[in-house]
Amino acid sequence: MDDPTTPSPYDLLLEALWLIPIRHYLYALILIWTVFFYNFVEFHFLGDAVLQYFRGRVNLIYNPDSPIYHGVVSRCRTLHGRYVATPWLASPHLQTCFLNFHGLPPVFTYTRKLFRASDGGTIALDWLINSHVADADPHNQNEISKEDTTPIAVVIPGLTSDSSSAYLKHLAYNTAKSGWNVVISNHRGLGGISVTSDCFYNAGWTEDVRVVLDHLQHEFPMAPLFAIGTSIGANILVKYLGEEGEKTPLRGAVAICSPWDLLIGDRFISRKFKQRLYDRALTIGLQGYAQLHEPQYTRLANWEGIKRSRSIRDFDNHATCHVGKFETVDTFYRKSSSTQYVGNVAVPLLCISALDDPLCTKEAIPWEECRANKNIVLVTTNHGGHLAFFEGLTASSLWWVRATNEFLGALSCSRYMHIQKIQESGSSGSRKQEEPSINQGPYLNIGEDGLVAAVNLEENTTRSKDATQVLKQRGPKVKDKRSFNVLCRQTKRSIWLLGYIGMVTGFPLVGMLMNYLFRKKQRPITASKS
């Protein structure tokens, strides 16, 4: 039987706890809160400090036979280096929030031009000319002439973003400073422009990109066109490239933080508490966009449903599906996702994504589709947030902007730029198909026995769509016709190499011939002696 005078162990424990100073409890509470906050906002400062060499690597996914990687990306030091986030922004959530609330954007002024689409819609094109940045004169209003050959970078913003967004200002200023002309194609109803038709933009609306590029090609025929898409703008850009294939006037493109698969993204953004906060914040932005154009939405959509929306999915259900004539929200997401168009991309395309992106999940990245397409190089980093990628102690620059400018600079100086191919049409006035000189004849017919015979272009009916590719497998009955220059270039054998091989393999034949002639000459001499 227990002695009633013996104190309980719990009493002894409480007495011991009372003896601990209160400040020690405060220290423990601060430590627990710090650990909780560190994990909640997904800080990686300690990991960067200890494992910077390994965790900061930039990962490249590409086809082993990709000419874009070997000819362009392999020359980009930024893409073969490391990305280390700003120490006091070593969190995807801090980076994303800081970018949207401040972002330290450069200060400059755009030159605005309005473009009127055929359906009556108005698109604001905000220009930043290289000469404006070079002269450091905000009042410089020099126009671009039709004969100007300076490359033009067309920027497609993200959801509810316009040219005033911090990340677009970083991109426009640094690209113009690199010697390019930049134009930001604002979405309809954004950039301070009213909606002047019954057509609104959405995550899969590519028609505005198509008409703006055609307009720029007509206005500046000598200037090569490139495109940069960010977030939803990246999804629109990749979808457009897949739809157009070889017909696009773009020479190259870059997609930054694309959501890729909108259905997967919809499930992801409503999965956890942190993602639901972003979902709610973006919904508020969409509702603000709708309020700017309330008369049109009241007439075309469910206005009461828009006001009650608590998620992007709710907004798309009450607004986008009504305006875009989609049966369901899932139908809209499936038809608008760019993943299904990746295989049809025919221009050099650099895709950059952060694996810790709090809005666009890595689960939606089409890894194998990007690897299978020789025109695409996919770049991923372990950190960076959504469209942030701040670097340096002062967070004054964005890593992806630097990588984009280096890639476009290398591409514009290479022979791997895309050349538009226009298919002939008998109804609307045919234009001759443009084809690079390296793909022009004479063509070769490689037979079963390895013999090569010249054929003309009309006979080349079995030539594949991409004339610069070489068949990896040749069956016993397959005949492949190729441009002689393409054959030499793709197999990495030059005329000099072929000549060298011929000389080396010909030496025995020359020796046999000389031996035969020498013996024939010696026979009369031997006969006369005998």
Q: Give Cβ neighbours of residue 444 (< 8 Å, ≥ 6 apart).
A: 452, 453, 454, 455, 481, 482, 483, 484, 487
Q: Is the dihedral of CA 374, 376, 381, 382 positive or negative?
A: negative
Q: Is 273 helix (H, G, I), strand (E, B) or coil?
A: helix
Whether 528 is catalytic is no
Distance CA 360, CA 354 (A): 9
Whether 197 is catalytic is no
Q: Give Cβ neighbours of residue 216 (< 8 Å, ≥ 6 apart).
A: 152, 154, 183, 223, 225
Whether 357 is catalytic is yes
CB atoms within 10 A of CB 247: 12
Q: Give Cβ neighbours of residue 188 (< 8 Å, ≥ 6 apart).
A: 121, 122, 123, 195, 197, 199, 200, 201, 208
Residue tagged active-site, from 66, 91, 231, 309? 231
Query: Which residue matches tokens 């720029």?
Result: 216
Residue tagged active-site, from 261, 386, 412, 418? 386
Do residues 96 and 386 touch, judged by C-beta distance below 8 A?
yes
What does the H/E/C string look like for 192-236? Answer: CCCCCCCCCCCCCCCHHHHHHHHHHHHHCCCCCEEEEEECHHHHH
Q: Which two tokens stand for residue 425?
A: 């049409």
Residue tagged active-site, from 126, 162, 208, 357? 357
Indicate which residues carry an active-site annotation. 231, 357, 386
